[in-house]
Structure 1
Amino acid sequence: MLVDAAGRALGTAPKTSVHGHETPLHLAFSSYVFDHEGRVLLTRRADHKITWPGVWTNSCCGHPLPGERLDLAVVRRLSYELGVTAERADLMLPAFSYRAVMANGIVEHELCPVYRVTVGTPIVPNADEVGEVRWMPWKEFAEGVQNGLLAISPWCREQVPLLMELGSDPMTWQPAAEAELPPAAQI
């Protein structure tokens, strides 16, 4: 779903046309999966991905289908990419947006609300999407990102400080109201 700077829907475009050198702003989502010990699941993007292949990042990202609620898109994508069943996704950063350019000129330009998901089931990565996974204590991960010690995707590097503003324990973060989502995501 293409959106304007205020988050209003402008129409739709195929995924293949929204990740290139002239990437329009579009609706996406980002999620951080935690286990019951408060560890965050990190994924290394598959080596054949168009954007940031082989780069470590947060648990799962994706795009909603036309007319799909973002929280349900998160649950759908987690099942596809990581083989986990999540009962719900909690909205944490409703208006996160970023633009990042790869060395080859490919651009990511997304209005990308961020979600927290807690799971208690094993991870079964889909090799078409994920090259590798690892669990890491949140504090260690967040400090590594904020101190520049971990090589991580550009969107994750921007999201972690904002998530830390919600508190040091991700299990106690208070979800944002759905009404804070951009207009195009309020379905």
Structure 2
Amino acid sequence: MSTTTVTQSVPTAETLLRLFPDIDTSSAELEGHDAEQIRLMDEVCIVLDNDDNPIGTASKKLCHLMTNIDKGLLHRAFSCFLFDDQNRLLLQQRASEKITFPDMWTNTCCSHPLGIPGETGSNLPDSVAGVKRAAQRKLDHELGIKKEQVPFEDFHFLTRIHYKAPSDGKWGEHEIDYILFIKANVDLNINPNEVQDTKYVTADELKALFNDPKLKFTPWFKLICQSMLFEWWENLDSGLEKYTNEQEIRRM
């Protein structure tokens, strides 16, 4: 199938309504949630077919309602793993205000490239560039990490993971998730509306955290840890290139 690069001029509502005529567009599910998090639900995600080709855009809210996910609505995301000079991974605990997966521990930063210039892409190289720019934007927004400390060229793209996961009865994820690694020493200035805690861990410390019944982890982070994370981590300083730029999408 032919695809076009998604820009803001795409007639997105028509495209989506044609593909998903019974899409749930109500806003009742947002009642009672944090005002800033409700505002962020208006951000425009990139809607995909199963092969990561953009087919339109839709709000973050529409993309994360289980009623729409169950109809096949799929969007692009990224998961960034930031390591310090001791090869410790920076974890974050999501804020209680978050609408999806609140209070859960996860990797450094997980979010979405948006349907805006510089973050879209209809081929893999452009899409990878888009998620790297999105990662810089969100590392700053969530953790106060300035772009200068995480240069574009220092991000390594490893692979894409296609997965589906419910958060609660109403919300969930259905994403093609781009995995990014970066090694950098950074200064944190945490946005408490996004993140309630952070922690640097070694691989062994992370494995121990998984055995703590009091802690909850996001489903995508658990998937990545159970599949390839520890092998990638072992090769962070030598041999990582054999895992980078994987062309096939991993289906979880």
TM-score (normalizing by structure 1) = 0.85
Question: Corresponding residue for 1:103?
Answer: 168
Structure-1 separation of matches of 2:237 and 2:171:
35
Question: Corresponding residue for 1:4?
Answer: 49
For residues 109 and 44 of structure 1, do their structure 2 counterparts lie closer, same or farther at Cα, with a shift above 3 Å needed? same
Structure of higher RCO (CA pairs closer than 8 Å, 6+ residues apart): 1
Post-superposition Cα deviations, 1:138-185, rounded to whole Å, max 9, x if no partner, equal: 33314654x6876311100001232223352433322522x7387xxx
Structure-1 separation of matches of 2:59 and 2:84:
34
CA contact (8 A) 1:90 1:116 kept: yes
Question: Corresponding residue for 2:58?
Answer: 13
Quote how far apart the aligned CAs of 1:130 are. Answer: 0.6
Does residue 41 in structure 1 map to residue 108 in structure 2?
no
For residues 119 and 153 of structure 1, do their structure 2 counterparts lie closer, same or farther at Cα, with a shift above 3 Å needed? same
Aligned with residue 32 of structure 1, among 75, 81, 106: 81
Question: Corresponding residue for 1:163?
Answer: 229
CA contact (8 A) 1:113 1:181 kept: no
CA contact (8 A) 1:84 1:119 kept: no
Post-superposition Cα deviations, 1:74-101, rounded to whole Å, max 9, x if no partner, equal: 1111111111131132112x22121101
Which one has a larger percent helix, Structure 1 or Structure 2?
2
% identical aligned pairs: 29
The amino acid that maps onto 2:247 is E
TM-score (normalizing by structure 2) = 0.65
CA contact (8 A) 1:74 1:89 kept: no
The amino acid that maps onto 1:168 is E
Superposed CA RMSD in Å reads 2.1
Post-superposition Cα deviations, 1:54-85, rounded to whole Å, max 9, x if no partner, equal: 11111101111224111111111111111113
Gaps of 5+ in 1: 183-187
Gaps of 5+ in 2: 1-45, 120-129
CA contact (8 A) 1:29 1:70 kept: yes
